[in-house]
Amino acid sequence: MPDTKLLFHLSDIHFGLEDNRALDWVKAEIEERQPDAVAITGDLTMRARHREFAAATSWIKSLDVPVTVEVGNHDLPYFNPIERFFDPYKRIRAISDKVEQEIDLPGLAIVPLKTVRRWQPRFNWSKGWVTDAALERCLTSLDALPAGTQALVTVHHPLREVGTHGTALTKHGRKALNELAKRPVIAVLSGHVHDAFDIMEETVHGKIRMIGAGTLSQRVRSTPPSFNELSWNGEALNVEVRNLEHVDSSDMMIGDVPEDAMPPREPGEPVAPVGQVPRTDPPVH
Ligand SMILES: [Fe+2]
Ligand SMILES: [Fe+2]
């Protein structure tokens, strides 16, 4: 039986509207517990502003454990379409050694799968899209793992296709899940929803587990700021939703991925960012 691995799954920190009380607590937890790895599943900033990335990258660099970072839809240049198209990761370069990086632990790997695109042939660019190239990269990494190694795949958008073809939460998410289910993937770790969940998804190749982390920002959806503490003993993956309000994990988790995975629009949020449909009606939660 291998040693138990401790992993922290953080998401949607949204510097610019971060929750500093939650961040101070998480950082202290990381220093004290020394997890084997920290996976941050995207949306580091609110609007990909330089000052927001400076704060985000400085906080992430201060964590003295292995960290892998996914890019979220809020992390691509928002007000600068030229930079968004030609150099979308320019502002995140300070932590380029952690962005979309695989982490290999004995017997367990964390393998990234990119779900953001610099542009999309549809109106709403905040939703996910798994390109053939991104999926190929992920599958190649999974197939190269030593025999017996299991994997957690990290994404920003849950790999769920809901609604009609045109409004799918993550385009080609179904195809990705089908491929991942054929491989030794323990679970897909995601963000974007701002509430935690832990569900089993059916695919043509059997079930696959999808685990979402909540937010560490003030931009909460229906639960207080939280992160997921994962422990893997080689056979079972346990998820505890850690939060400052001491709410039980079961009460912190939503039952399913919502079709509209967008949290409420905060006061002052621009209504017509690059490539996105204006949001005029903040949902009521
Ligand atoms: Fe988010
Ligand atoms: Fe997001």
Specify if 161 maps to a domain: yes
Give the DSSP H or E segment for 203.
Answer: strand 197-203
Among the ranges 82-96, 113-127, 232-246, which has the highest mean pLDDT value?
A: 232-246
pLDDT at 140: 98
pLDDT classification of 282: cutoffs 50, 70, 90: very low
Q: Check residues 270 and 126 and name the one with the higher pLDDT.
A: 126
- Ligand 2 geometric centre to CA of 3 (Å): 33
Specify if 122 maps to a domain: yes
- Residue 138 pLDDT > 90: yes
Specify if 273 maps to a domain: no
Specify if 147 maps to a domain: yes
Q: Check residues 162 and 150 and name the one with the higher pLDDT.
A: 150
Specify if 30 maps to a domain: yes
Structural domains counted in the chain: 1
- Ligand 2 geometric centre to CA of 156 (Å): 7
Closest ligand, as measured to the CA of 15: 1
pLDDT at 252: 96
Domain housing 81: 5-252
Question: What does pLDDT average to over the chain?
Answer: 88
User: In the predicted model, what is the mean pLDDT of residues 163-192?
Assistant: 88
Walk across the sheet containing 185-194 and list its strands: 103-105, 108-112, 150-154, 185-194, 206-214, 197-203
Q: Check residues 164 and 205 and name the one with the higher pLDDT.
A: 205
d(CA 114, CA 100) in angstroms, rounded, equals: 7
Closest ligand, as measured to the CA of 72: 2
CA distances to 29, 40, 145 from 140, rounded to whole Å, are 34, 22, 9
- Residue 17 pLDDT > 80: yes
- Ligand 2 geometric centre to CA of 235 (Å): 31
Residues with CB in 5 Å of ion ligand 1: 12, 43
- Ligand 1 geometric centre to CA of 191 (Å): 7
Least confident of 2-6, 99-103, 150-154, 180-184: 2-6
- Ligand 1 geometric centre to CA of 126 (Å): 10
pLDDT at 166: 54
- Ligand 1 geometric centre to CA of 75 (Å): 10
pLDDT at 147: 96
Specify if 260 maps to a domain: no
Residues in the chain, overall count: 285
Specify if 284 maps to a domain: no
What CATH number did the domain enclosing 238 receive?
3.60.21.10
pLDDT at 269: 53
- Ligand 1 geometric centre to CA of 144 (Å): 31
User: In the predicted model, what is the mean pLDDT of residues 123-138?
Assistant: 89
DSSP code at position 80? -
pLDDT at 46: 95
- Ligand 1 geometric centre to CA of 106 (Å): 31
Specify if 158 maps to a domain: yes
CA distances to 67, 156, 252, 272 from 130, rounded to whole Å, are 22, 11, 28, 24
- Ligand 2 geometric centre to CA of 2 (Å): 35
- Residue 119 pLDDT > 80: no
- Ligand 2 geometric centre to CA of 25 (Å): 23
The per-residue pLDDT for range 38-95, each reduced to its tens digit, is: 999 999 999 999 999 999 999 999 999 999 999 999 999 877 888 877 888 888 888 9
- Residue 264 pLDDT > 90: no
